[in-house]
Structure 1
Amino acid sequence: MGEAKGGAQLTLRARKPGYAVMQECLAIQSAAPARTSWQRFWGHDPLHDDARSWFKGAIGERDVARALDALGPEFTVLHAVPVGKRSTDIDHIVVGPTGVFSINTKNHSGQSVWAGGRTLTVNGQRTQHMHRAVAEGERATALLSAAAGGPILVQPVLVVAAAKLRFGDKAPAVVTLRPDEVGAWITGLPRAHSDEAVRYLAMLAEERRTWHVDAVVLNDTLRHVQRFERLEREIDEARRRRALLRKGRVVAGLAVPAGGLLGYWWATAAISLGL
């Protein structure tokens, strides 16, 4: 079941990965001044500095979602599952024969991550990632158990994108994986639920009222996703333009001795226009 008239989601299956993070990113991005024509020409980055971490987080959730969506038809995968009363959400919920999982994603690409016990550091700095993942699993267990009328374990999983992921002698308090490991890890576990139980738990999990006090929210539309994708295209276009202009300056540097300033401007213009 998808979206009702007016954009209200009746189940969580229609939720896109990173939805809540996208909303926060766009709310901050709305304060960014519009770029001038000159800034566009030179490939000025349109992303507001304060929105950068949210943008990176949304990209990370989307990357992990692709791995989870490939699990197969016996698994139900839900994204950006709203919990509680406010805007808090669980990045991904997976229901399948090997169990139910709450998956927290962290995009620390380009950084060094260390995990051990209840500690996770990024470039040597302690974070609350492990504690929050534990709390998230406990909360999801309580909510799904209440909906099912009996104890249902939701196992927390932390998926971390990083340039380097190292582990201490003590195993992490929460299973910690790289994005390319999560699918094989979930499918490699022993069976925990019968097919009938999986169908029942999946039905409960996709109902918004299982997790959130508001059964239906009218502003859950694809508009935010489309706006985010437009922002992403603008960022990519600016990045490509900067790269082209850098190449233009290199070519111009070679042309200056032979053709002077005329060669410089011609080369820059040619590269910028893709000639």
Structure 2
Amino acid sequence: MSAAAEPSESDVRYTEPEGLGLLRRRAPGQSVMEELLEVRGHRDTRGLVARALGVHLLDAASRPWYWGALGERAVGRTLAALGPEWTVLHAVPVGEKSADIDHVVIGPTGIFTINTKRHPGQRIWTAKGTFMVAGTRHPYIRNSEHEAARAGKLLSAAVRQAVTAEAAIVVVGAQQVTVKEKHRSVAVLTEPQLLRWLTRRPVVHTHQQVALLAAAAAQPSTWRRAPSALSDPVEVAGSFDTLHRLVEQARRRRIGWLLAVPAAVVASAVGALPF
């Protein structure tokens, strides 16, 4: 959508019907939080001894959902710094299955689909359609291209004008990110680079165009033919926060035991020394 195609006031026909505001209010990481809570729940089911020892709450099945939620929440906090001329949607359900787009961003410089990848302490290397994490190849580039193309097609149908979306992968927590060669249609960024990448680009949409696109994007029917009921983001985030506190509490207790045991051994050895 170029400035020459600026819609008139009569073209801006999208108003958000009552009850659809949940899509605008969806929390960063809401889809993965919902999956995690379905698999794990948010209650502490460990016994007293396990709690005292800081035994892990998360098993192999639930851990990826938890780390994914933390990554999307981190990027969500970064995107919250964008000004009022921007619209940001999180965890947008798309298609007929359980797929979602981590973040859809619409503003003066374009439409963007952002895919968050959290790889704490890992080395990332990417070039020529390849994305490697600690030497293992992942299909992130291909998936992000598909996601942006899909978003552009759906939004074009909704506003009845041809628009395009651009894709970005935002890496959270990595030890090192090496972009050996930029990809043709997907930007690979670290979290601190994201806002500059979004805001320092040429302006391509007027205020009216942004309003039209944002209103269309806020309607669940834009993304799914038969939108399902959306969970209350406040309840989902609250349950996740409860689980997050328990996970952090267990982690601190494990660290405390790891520090206490060597100290006890040293104290015991010192006590056994003759004077």
Which range is displaced more, 57-66 or 24-33? 24-33
Name which of 57, 68, 71 aligns with 2:79: 68
Structure 2: tracts of 5 or more residues without a match: 1-14
2:197 counterpart of 1:185: yes
**Which residue does 2:90 correspond to in 1?**
79
- Structure 2 Cα separation of the partners of residues 53 and 218 of structure 1: 22
2:96 counterpart of 1:58: no
**Which residue does 1:256 correspond to in 2?**
268
SS in structure 2 at match of 1:109:
coil
The answer to which structure, 1 or 2, has the higher relative contact order (CA under 8 A, 6+ apart) is 2
- Structure 2 Cα separation of the partners of residues 167 and 48 of structure 1: 33
What's the C-alpha RMSD, in Å, of the aligned pairs? Answer: 2.4
8 Å contact 1:113–1:122 — kept in the other structure? yes
SS in structure 2 at match of 1:84:
coil
**Which residue does 1:118 correspond to in 2?**
129
**What code does the residue aligned with 1:109 have?**
P
Pick closer, same or farther for the CA change 1:51–1:33 going to 2, 3 Å. same
2:221 counterpart of 1:176: no
- Structure 2 Cα separation of the partners of residues 219 and 31 of structure 1: 16
8 Å contact 2:43–2:243 — kept in the other structure? no
8 Å contact 1:28–1:48 — kept in the other structure? no
TM-score, reference length from structure 2: 0.86
8 Å contact 2:23–2:230 — kept in the other structure? no
Q: Which runs of 4+ in 1 moved over 6 A?
A: 1-4
Q: Deviations over 1:34-85 (max 9, x none)?
A: 2111010011111122111111111001111111110111111110011112
Aligned length: 257
**Which residue does 1:12 correspond to in 2?**
23
**What code does the residue aligned with 1:189 have?**
R
Report the CA distance between 1:253 and its aligned residue.
2.7
Pick closer, same or farther for the CA change 1:218–1:166 going to 2, 3 Å. closer
Superposed, 1:96-175 pairs within 5 Å as: 96-161=107-172, 162-169=174-181, 171=183, 173-175=185-187
SS in structure 1 at match of 2:178:
strand
Pick closer, same or farther for the CA change 1:103–1:169 going to 2, 3 Å. closer
Structure 1: tracts of 5 or more residues without a match: 261-275
8 Å contact 1:102–1:137 — kept in the other structure? yes
